[in-house]
Amino acid sequence: LFVTVLAYHLLCVIQRTLRESGIRHHWATLRTHLSGQVRVTTSMVNDKGQAIHIRHTSEPEPVHVKIYNALGLPVRPLRRLTTIE
């Protein structure tokens, strides 16, 4: 129950912050807009037989940048990550 109440309060703070910045979308619309930016993993095997995984965030669209800026968040929250197994 506590997690649900915490999530509700977090949602209210996000919506209030966005409204103060002039963004007045419903939560479902925001989720739909933000679902366009994804984290992508590319996997391949090199000539030594090692598996290489490259993980990066897709380019943000203008709507993403507007929302992130209103919330004070970076447009690329996670850095590129390369792992070799």
- Over residues 1-10, the pLDDT tens digits come to 799 999 999 9
Kind and range of the H or E element at 36?
none
The single residue listed with the structure tokens 């996000």 is: 14
Structural domain range at position 80: 1-84
Between CA 78 and CA 37 the distance in angstroms is 12
pLDDT on residue 78? 87
Q: What is the CA radius of gyration of the chain?
A: 18
Question: Residue 67 burial by CB count (10 A; 0-12/13-18/19+): exposed, middle or buried?
Answer: buried
> Residue 11: pLDDT above 90?
yes
How many domains are there within the chain? Answer: 1
DSSP 1: -
- For the stretch 27-78, pLDDT in tens is 999 999 999 999 999 999 999 999 999 999 999 999 999 999 999 999 888 8
Instruction: Give the pLDDT band of residue 81 (cuts 50, 70, 90).
Output: very high
pTM for this predicted structure: 0.77
